[in-house]
Chain A
Amino acid sequence: MMFDDLNTPGGHETPSGAGIPARGGIPRGSEGAQPAPLADREVPLPGAAPSLLHQWLDGDVSTAIFRATPGGNEAVDLWNKIHDEAETLRSRTTPLYVHKRIMDALPDDKYRENRPWYKRPVAMNPALIALAAAVLLGLGAIIARAVLH
């Protein structure tokens, strides 16, 4: 069984935007004057007051009062089981290897060009080594000449 999603247009950015929320932290789906999706309409149906179950689950009605209603006991037992399960899930943490995996997968050169030149890593190659050696030799010669004279 699949419960229909009646509110596809709202509250979710399109995949074409690579899942990146709009600038300013405002989801693109909330912009514009589109009518609220059917599932989100806030106007209550005539005569349909919020049920006691929701009031209880939202903390607006005590468990004792809710238990006293028809079917209340069974509902409390069921939701206690669901909450126990939720509690287990809530204690889960990210496995530590995931942090390293993410860091290893980050592109290396994305913001490298923004780094000051003196902080950038120098890639050594034979030509650069030869150039550095020549510069050092030249400097040495100049210093030696200055000292000897």
Chain B
Amino acid sequence: MTNPAAISTEPVDQADLDQEVIRRVLSGSRDAFEVLIVRYSDPLYRHALGMTGSPDVAEDILQQSFIKAYQHLSEVRGRFDAWVFRIVANACKDWLKNIRRTHVSYDEDDQPSSYSTPDEELDRNELRTDLEVALAALAPSLREAFVMKHVEGRSYEEMAELLGTTVGALKMRVHRAREALQHLLEEKYA
């Protein structure tokens, strides 16, 4: 699977560019922070969307995370993208652990439909809802691993670097998540 999110496969000098932007922000140029928002918001938004299933919640998590990152910007050591990813990832896991959700799904907004026929759209909406329900049944750490692997298309090595854990541990989480999803969905779809 390809990896369009590709936070950590950016060229090395991207980290230097980020550091330069951070230096400008810390020396009082608040507007420079927008460069970092534009540069990293899409993969972070997709992670939050995959984790929460709700565009509204994903937007809120993104906003709170960037504000938190701005307020603690002087604490960044190393790569900004990995650092801010962990802020978003933690916010998502906290949300999953704390919230008692009613039904939410990532088709609740007004994104234009890309399906060719109403029947196809209906089928896809049903699958989407079922997939969301199945993902919601996973523990946050399993869902996180599954989303990073199968939605964001990251390699195990990249995931390990971003989450600060081992490749073996992440494989275990992905395998558990796959087996759980397969168990939950195969009766209806396989």
Residues of A within 8 A of B (CB): 1-8, 10-13, 15, 18-21, 23-27, 29-30, 36-37, 39-42, 50-51, 53-54, 57, 71, 74-75, 77-78, 81-86, 88-90, 92-95, 98-99, 101-103, 105-108, 110-116, 119-120
Cβ B62 vs Cβ A98 within 8 A: yes
Chain B residues whose CB sits within 8 angstroms of the CB of A93 once the complex forms: 42, 45
Chain A residues whose CB sits within 8 angstroms of the CB of B44 once the complex forms: 94
Give chain A nearest CB distance to B138 CB in angstroms.
Answer: 5
Chain A residues whose CB sits within 8 angstroms of the CB of B27 once the complex forms: 111, 114-116
Cβ B186 vs Cβ A75 within 8 A: yes
Give chain B nearest CB distance to A84 CB in angstroms.
Answer: 8
What are 27 of the A-B contact pairs (CB < 8 Å)? A1-B137, A11-B141, A12-B93, A20-B72, A20-B75, A21-B83, A25-B78, A27-B164, A29-B164, A30-B165, A40-B168, A41-B172, A54-B174, A54-B178, A82-B150, A94-B41, A94-B45, A95-B59, A98-B41, A98-B45, A101-B59, A102-B37, A102-B62, A103-B37, A110-B71, A111-B28, A111-B30
- Residue of B with least CB distance to A71: B190
The answer to whether the Cβ of B4 comes within 8 Å of any Cβ in the partner chain is: yes
Interface residue tally of chain B, by bracket? Answer: 35 or more
Cβ A19 vs Cβ B91 within 8 A: yes
Residues of B within 8 A of A (CB): 1, 4-5, 25-31, 33-34, 37-38, 41-42, 44-46, 49-50, 55, 59, 62-63, 65-68, 70-73, 75-79, 82-83, 86-87, 89-91, 93-94, 106, 111, 114, 124, 127-128, 131, 137-142, 150-153, 163-166, 168-169, 171-176, 178-182, 184-186, 189-190
Cβ A50 vs Cβ B172 within 8 A: no
- Residue of B with least CB distance to A25: B78
Chain B residues whose CB sits within 8 angstroms of the CB of A19 once the complex forms: 65, 68, 87, 90-91, 94
Whether A3 touches B180, Cβ cut-off 8 Å, given contacts A36-B169, A92-B45, A110-B70, is: yes
Chain A residues whose CB sits within 8 angstroms of the CB of B94 once the complex forms: 15, 19
- Residue of B with least CB distance to A17: B90
